[in-house]
Amino acid sequence: MPSPVVVSNRGPLGFARGADGSLVARRGAGGLVVTLGPGAQRDGAVWVAAALDDSDREAARGVTNGAHGGAVVEDGFRWRPVLVDRGQYQAYYDVVANGALWYCLHGLWDLSRRPRFDRWWRDAWKSYRAVNAAFADAVADTAEPGATVLLQDYHLALVGRMLAGRRPDLRTSLFVHTSWCGPSELAVLPDEAASELLDGMTGAGAVGFHSARWASAFSDCCRAVLGSDAAPPTFVAPAVADVGDLRATAASAACQRELDELERLVGDRQLIVRVDRIELSKNILRGFWAFDEMLETRPDLRGKVVFGAFVYPSRQGLSDYLAYGQEVRTVVDLLNSKWSTDAWTPIVLDPDDRYHRSVAALRRYDVLLVNPVRDGLNLVAQEGPLVNDRHGTVVLSRQAGAWDALEPHVLGVNPFDVSATAEAMAAGLDRPRALRVGAAERLVKVLEDSSPLRWWDQLRDAAERR
Ligand code: G6P
């Protein structure tokens, strides 16, 4: 049986310098390693992923000369690095993948000003194509005959088509972790980029999504751009959080220490929590404005509730993200100066990426706010209920893929409606214990019923069926 191959931009491992100057491997950031990791470890998959920074590059250079068959072996993972020129990588990652495709798929553009698809952007598109080709080369060199290849996400949309030509023996699927947009939103992309993107994706044997909504939007785009018969088989397989791993973290001494510190800060007040990357699609600002409106309309809650925002930097190469992070801090300062008293700071902003601290916050919430503008799935909405100690309530955007499975047990919101979000948060805080306990227990039941290994098997089956 050939080893399966996972292919993603961000890999399972990241490297940093230890105190003694040596390179230390740590688990990569982001949701992909949480959802794909257990299956990749169990089946001994080779994971083809980019070297993201200088430390990664150095670790990668140590193996590209043939050691371990070209893979870094660590923590049960086999990482086969892809090393590309820095400038080219930046154009692929910052300009095309995150600066254009991400905005398009999540409906984030402020169309009166942006995007501007000029000659500079078209050069970046060439880099996107070149980096996809470098990934395709790495897979073609690495994959054993007849191997199953699980391509991941919008960064690598062209790899399926490239491999179909070079290695027809491989059985490929592409899983898209984002939402997908409708044809009119996709039509913002330059015509030739939109058709190359979709044609590249249809080169994979099957294309998967977390929600049926995204799968049907994708098929609509294929019909509109490529013609009536062009839509490839799609499949829907919502990923799930790793219950065992998460609960082990929640039960750890490090998490307990963070929780103790949080308890000292919050006292006997109720706590609203959000845990997110500082990311435009996460809708962090409207969450604060909703909190402000809640305090305006519900004077009885003033001094009685704290909003803990555990948000951490992301995609710092994009000026919009830097500006958004600044706006987050400004709005927090503004609202804290409006509402604070000697005894109460209404919003606690924690802008560091501290995993144990975030899990501690998930244990402590009374209301978990997950209000993305649009989101492929949203793992936080799953992780919260699995570790929460207080039968808290989840307020969830109807635009998140996670909504499909969790809808009956959460309070749904239109993420653009600040007043409705304020009302939903207040309703969560007011909820009588019996209602909260019932909903929280049903949520946990839904979430415990699935596992990353089962999800991984669905991805493999979809690729192997072709
Ligand atoms: C989303 C994408 C992932 C990505 C993650 C973090 O969930 O679907 O592919 O890894 O965001 O973003 P980053 O740019 O830091 O990898």
Q: Determine if the peptide bond prior to 115 is cis (ω within 30°).
A: yes
Q: Residues of the chain whose pLDDT is less than 70?
A: 64-69
The rounded Å distance from CA 267 to ligand 1 centre is 35
Closest CA to 275 of 381, 179, 375: 381
DSSP for residue 91: I
Closest CA to 214 of 94, 109, 107, 115: 107
Q: Which residues are CB-contacts of 382 (< 8 A; sequence separation ≥ 6)?
A: 240, 241, 402, 406, 447
Alpha-carbon radius of gyration of the chain: 22
Separation between Cα atoms, residue 78 and residue 428, nearest integer Å = 44
pTM higher than the cut 0.75:
yes
CB of 385 shorter than 6 A to ligand 1? no
Q: Which backbone phi and psi does 306 adopt, to 5 degrees?
A: -120, 140
Closest CA to 384 of 374, 395, 375, 399: 395
Specify whether the CB–CB gap between 311 and 328 falls below 8 A. yes
Delineate the domains of the chain, giving CATH numbers in brackets: 5-239+455-464 (3.40.50.2000), 243-448 (3.40.50.2000)
Tens-place pLDDT, residues 413-447: 999 999 999 999 999 999 999 999 999 999 999 99
CB of 153 shorter than 6 A to ligand 1? yes
pLDDT (0 to 100) of residue 68: 53
Specify whether the CB–CB gap between 363 and 387 falls below 8 A. yes
CB of 178 shorter than 6 A to ligand 1? yes
Separation between Cα atoms, residue 313 and residue 14, nearest integer Å = 16
Q: Which atom of ligand 1 is nearest to the CA of 152?
A: 9
Residue identifier of the C-alpha nearest atom 16 of ligand 1? 10
Give me 302's structure tokens: 């003033």
Specify whether the CB–CB gap between 34 and 73 falls below 8 A. no
Mark 298-315 as b/e (b = at least 16 C-beta within 10 Å). Answer: beebeeebbbbbbbbebb
Residue identifier of the C-alpha nearest atom 14 of ligand 1? 315
Tens-place pLDDT, residues 188-197: 999 999 999 9
CB of 30 shorter than 6 A to ligand 1? yes
In Å, the largest CA–CA distance within the chain is: 69
Mark 435-454 as b/e (b = at least 16 C-beta within 10 Å). Answer: ebeebbeebbeebeebbbee
CB of 32 shorter than 6 A to ligand 1? yes
Specify whether the CB–CB gap between 157 and 197 falls below 8 A. yes
Closest CA to 180 of 204, 201, 149, 163: 201
CB of 31 shorter than 6 A to ligand 1? yes
Closest CA to 239 of 181, 189, 178: 178
